[in-house]
Structure 1
Amino acid sequence: MNPGERRVVIVLFDGVDLLDVTGPPEVFSLLRRETDGEMGYEVVLAAETTDPVTTASGVRVLPDTTFHEAAARGIDTLLVPGSVEVDARRRVRALADPAVVDRVRTLAGRARRVTSVCVGAHILAAAGLLDGKRATTHWSTARQLAAEHPAVEVDADPIFIRQGDVWTGAGISACLDLALALVAEDFGEGVALRVARQLVMYLKRPGGQSQFSVPLDPVSTTRRVEDLRHYVAHHIGERIGVAELTEHAHVGERQLTRIFKAELGMTPSAYIESARVERARHRLESTDDTLERIASACGFGTTDTLVRAFRRRLGTTPTDYRRRFRPDPG
């Protein structure tokens, strides 16, 4: 490799998500152009053999090399994409083939840095590479990751998380943000900014920023919880709290907390705040209301409370959120 070049090895296996594989290289490929060839990445697709690999979309990809050869040549960054299955009830489950897990464990021992894209975090976790670390994955499989790997501190909200030399990314589009963050670490913020401009991306969404596309309401299975969610939605602008919910549900505070944690994975107070943030998001996107009016209409009371909730939940401010996500009226 050239002195300014780093080798990225992307793991291939049957059923892999194609965009997980192709997204980061699109970012990496622009680096050489933006630096007149002085800096760049050598992207290598590695699999068990060099036979074509069939992705989840049905598109076949031809590996550049085998896992064995990739390890022998040296690895700067190991990138692990993911794969999912969807059952008859439309539930999404991340997959982690034991053979792939074993290969990733071996390759990781020869890499300076290990990263996962989307549900690829499940493979890293199965390989023991996330034990004792904070990690993220796609919101739809976060509960699965936490349940199957209790030694991992799962945080489903950020778009990516760095823990030393291990990086995990969230939803599929977040792989671009993760790749940009890698470019910034390797070659500097200025270079990453030029790459981001070519991609018409923001440089760079901070890793702590929320997965904005995460649905607020997880699927619940009881009428009681559905009723409580409707109650919150219809009283969002009022001074509603845990006491009002316990009275409405005719249960004690401890029982209410157990119900919310079991069904929605959060406390009643956290759910109320999430509901208010979600309502405020939509008003920021669809109206020209002032922050004061939005804070009042969504039950925050003051703009300071609104701003703190946005920073806590989304890793940004209401003003910045509106600037980025308000459709251009023109």
Structure 2
Amino acid sequence: MITRAPHSLPPGKEADLHKLVQLTWINLAFRVSIVIVLFLVMGSSQAMRAAWLEDILTLLPPVAFLVSMHYRDRGPGADYPYGHQRVTIVAFLCSSVVLTLLGVFLIIDSSIHLLKAEHTTIGAIELFGHTVWMGWLMVAGLMYSVIPPLIIGRIQEKWAERVHEKTVHVDAKVSKADWMTGLAGVVGVLGVGMGLWWMDAAAALVIGLDVARDGFKNLAEATGDVLDRRPKSMVTGKASGMEEKLEAELAKLPWVKRAGVRLREEGHVLCGEAFVVPHSEANLTRHLWEAGQLLQEKDWRVLEVVVTSVDSLEEGGRKYYGHSP
């Protein structure tokens, strides 16, 4: 048996990844503090409980990323000859499933409370010798739960794009959009304070819908990665066009008549196959090896492309969508 060659990032990308790991640790510390703060001021509010449960689940993506980083650095071996690059996909998929299930639970739970017309009450506490309505503490906690993730999420998104870390990138986008969850919670709490009991459960329902939407979106993205969907741009969400770029490079070689490439994402790297129709079989073995090396040098994300000689591109196992020189 032969194993895949070990992979390492270029020095510049390695430095970017190190900064991203540091940001993730900072993000995780803030999120743990948010979970603690919301727990302390949660009371009996349905909206606060929903926001608290969501913030608990927001711990999963950074934890999954940090754990996957530990395993991803392990090189290929006898049991895993292709390496451990896909461990980030597994982590992404698991966190997406949990997020989706929680969203569905919150939707059902808050809907039941609305239908039963259960009235939420928010009391007061003694704080430094003064009677303070708990709702104000809830609002302060909710505002704290929004601001740090919003700021860190913007920074993380930039660094995640540089090293193509999808788990962190999607988590950063969710963090940036989570201001709606905090706002819904604030509205629910203030609504209870004004005597509108139903606003608390309604806010919890809005939060549940937001969680479920994020979960389904992430689940669709993770499923696409597991099913070896063609690489997509993290910025635009459209096909990256890397296959066409590599096909054009192969088409420039004087011994290549036609060429076709198919790629898949394995975590942050790209792997796949290239099928070439040669003009002749002279020095073909050497040409195929050199072509594989050429493709790997064209982009830092290209880990491995196996170049195979065929009589026609249809023999490469797919309909041909590329071009010929």
TM-score tier (shorter): under 0.3
Name whichever structure is richer in helix by fraction.
Answer: 2
Alignment TM-score, normalising by the size of structure 1: 0.22
Alignment TM-score, normalising by the size of structure 2: 0.22
Name whichever structure is richer in strand by fraction.
Answer: 1
Larger radius of gyration: 2
- Bigger relative contact order (CA 8 A; separation at least 6): 2
